[in-house]
Amino acid sequence: MTSNKILCIGGADIDWTGLYSADSFPLEGLPIEFNKTFGGVAHNITQNLKSIGYNVEFMSAIGNDLIGNQFIQFLKESGLSSDYLIKLENHQTASVIFVIGNNGKVLLTLPRTEIYDSFTSENLSSKLSSMKQFGTWIIDTDLCEEAIQYLTLVKPVDTTLYAVIACPSKSNRVKSILNMLDGLFLNIEEASYMIGEEIKTDEQILKSAKTIKEQGAKIVFMTLGERGVCVATEEFQKIIPAYKAEIYDTKGAGDAFATGVIAGLLDKMSIEGSVQQGLAAASLAIEVKGKTYGMLSREKIKERRELNG
């Protein structure tokens, strides 16, 4: 029998988010106030799933440094185990600087995530026996390609595998394992990077989602910002409109969307029902400044769905 436990494997970052008083460059001469939070795609999804009631744990690499120790303490305070955090000596815990414009959109991202290049199959294999107790694995592409390929090789046959693209430049890390994925989450910029051409029109969106789907992933979920999401399955390619929301900060919206969709699929909802849940979760996320998790609950998602009919 497949376990209902979920393991998220990927980025563990310290995020510095600055709110900028305009919506374009240059930044010169305008004050930016930064706030610090713990982030990373897989971490955000872990926290979101936990907040809506799932049995979930988080796995990543941290440095043997002050931030790494703070991350361990933070997980414990969140009610999560730190048993799946692997300390890598002589490495710094990952950090990312974000600048958010007045329109809520990310204007600038400055990552320092070199630690993940050293987070390899050798590290993962030390935890493999306990990893196999989880019926669902969610990975992000902060993991290096070697680690991603290793996970697909050692994954139990009945374990469901989802991948979430962390940024455009890391999109191709899943190309060789698409046929192993039960679902792939990416945005339109990441899809453009993956297929090698800019995607703009609805026709291009539908075609590119179908192309990625035909390369192996069972379901492709391509987020389109305010335009919604394109879903590609064996039966259809369809653009589903976004929910109406006040946009304050789009950082973390994709993680919230993936959370809602995966939760729906775990609850045996239809694909379209799961997508509606994901869109509701994303709309809640963009209405909160400076946070990438902690804004979701089953009640809020249900209310938002009812509000949008």
The model's confidence at residue 98, banded by pLDDT at 50, 70 and 90, is confident
Using DSSP's 3-state secondary structure scheme, residue 247 falls into coil
What does the pLDDT read at residue 27? 61
Rg (CA), the chain: 18
Lowest-pLDDT choice from 1-5, 112-116, 177-181: 1-5
List the one residue out of 178, 166, 227, 181 whose CA is nearest residue 201. 227
Which of 15-29, 86-100, 129-143, 182-196 is predicted least confidently? Answer: 15-29
Is pLDDT above 70 for 26? no
Quick check: helix, strand or coil at residue 61?
strand
pLDDT above 80 for 31: no
* Mean pLDDT over the full length of the chain: 93
Nearest to 57 by CA among 66, 67, 45: 45
Pick the range with the lowest mean pLDDT from 40-54, 95-109, 210-224, 228-242.
Answer: 95-109
Distance from the Cα of residue 296 to its chain's centroid:
15
CATH, domain 6-307, list 2.60.120.1440, 3.40.1190.20, 1.20.1530.20, 3.40.50.620 = 3.40.1190.20
Categorize the per-residue pLDDT at 185 as very low, low, confident or very high, splitting at 50, 70 and 90: very high
- Pairwise CA distance, residues 80 & 50, whole Å: 9
The stretch 236-257 carries a mean pLDDT of 93
Q: What phi-psi label fits residue 294: left (phi over 0), alpha (psi between -120 and 50 degrees) or beta?
A: left
- β pairing state of 6-9 and 56-63: parallel
Please state, in angstroms and rounded to a whole number, the distance separating the CA atoms of residues 118 and 144: 8
Q: What is the mean pLDDT of residues 133-149?
A: 98
- In the chain, domain spans: 6-307
Q: 24-38, 50-64, 237-251, 295-309: lowest mean pLDDT where?
A: 24-38
Average pLDDT over residues 196-205: 96
Helix (H, G, I), strand (E, B) or coil at 197: coil
- How much is the pLDDT for 1? 42
Phi, psi (rounded to 5 degrees) for 9: -125, 120
pLDDT band for position 25 (50/70/90)?
A: low
Averaged pLDDT, 45-51 = 97
**Residue spans of alpha helices (H) in 198-245:** 202-214
Contact 39, 292 (CB under 8 A): yes
Query: What pLDDT, in 10s, does the model give residues 279-305?
Result: 999 999 999 987 888 899 999 999 999
Is the pLDDT assigned to residue 110 strictly greater than 70? yes
In the prediction, which pLDDT does 256 show? 97
Which of 148-152, 155-159, 183-187, 285-289 has the weakest average pLDDT?
285-289
- Mean pLDDT, residues 151-177: 96
